[in-house]
Homo-oligomer: A and B are copies of this chain.
Amino acid sequence: MPKIWSQTIEAHRDAVREATIAATAALVAEHGLSGVTMSQIAKDTGIGRATLYKYFPDVESILVAWHDRRIDAQLAELVRVRDRTEGAGPRLDAVLTAYAKANRAGHPPADPAAAMLHRGAHVTTAHHRLHEFVRELIVDAAAAGDLPGDVHADELAGFCLHALEAARGRSAAAVRRLVRATLAGLAATP
């Protein structure tokens, strides 16, 4: 197959995936998770049902894809924050602050899907990447002497990511206090 043709096919597939994810997100926002079916999604996107099933086996797999995209976008922003900050300790601080601020707006109330997937059956690969990203920052901060040397970085990454979800709906000042409490928790672990 000529390269230009395979690129065209890939672009088409991407477009189908995007349209499916967008339509599903809108349907879930309107009807809730349990009110959305593959038939409705097919109807709303104008994609044939049989074709739709070639892309996604069920509604939940579409929501996983949607959720992964959101986390990936968030992660890209956190990488930018890291790369413009000097020093392992300040980097950790800056990234956790950015993450907490992003969580302030949080999952909008009409978005039960993200909530379900975030803590649901599967920890998605995107969530795993986010966890790894924070874990590495903690390892670096410990190596630089900004955290105790023998931290359990993997556990503490989970601690940070969970604790900073408490930022949802809080004021800017409350988010600063939350980040400070989280950093104190990191520093305290022997």
Contacts and interface: CB of A to CB of B under 8 A. Distances in A.
Interface of A: 32-34, 36-37, 58-60, 107, 109-110, 112-113, 115-116, 118-121, 152, 155-156, 158-159, 161-166, 170, 174, 177-178, 180-182, 184-189
Give the residue among A115, A120, A181, A189 with the most B Cβ atoms within 10 A: A181
Given A34-B34, A34-B58, A118-B119, A155 B178 contact: yes
Contacts of A107: 119
Given A155-B166, A155-B177, A188-B181, A110 B115 contact: no
A41 to B, nearest CB: 11
A60 B28 CA distance: 13
A159 B32 CA distance: 28
A181 B159 contact: yes
Count of this chain's copies in the oligomeric assembly:
2
A120 B180 CA distance: 26
A108 to B, nearest CB: 9
B188 A159 contact: no
A121 B110 contact: yes
Task: Please report whether the interface of chain A is mostly helix, strand, loop or mixed according to DSSP.
Answer: helix
Contact of A119 (B119, B159, B161): B119
A135 to B, nearest CB: 12
Contacts of A113: 116
A33 B63 CA distance: 12
Contacts of A116: 33, 112-113, 115-116, 120
A11 B180 CA distance: 50
A155 B167 CA distance: 9
A73 B170 CA distance: 28
Contacts of A120: 112, 115-116
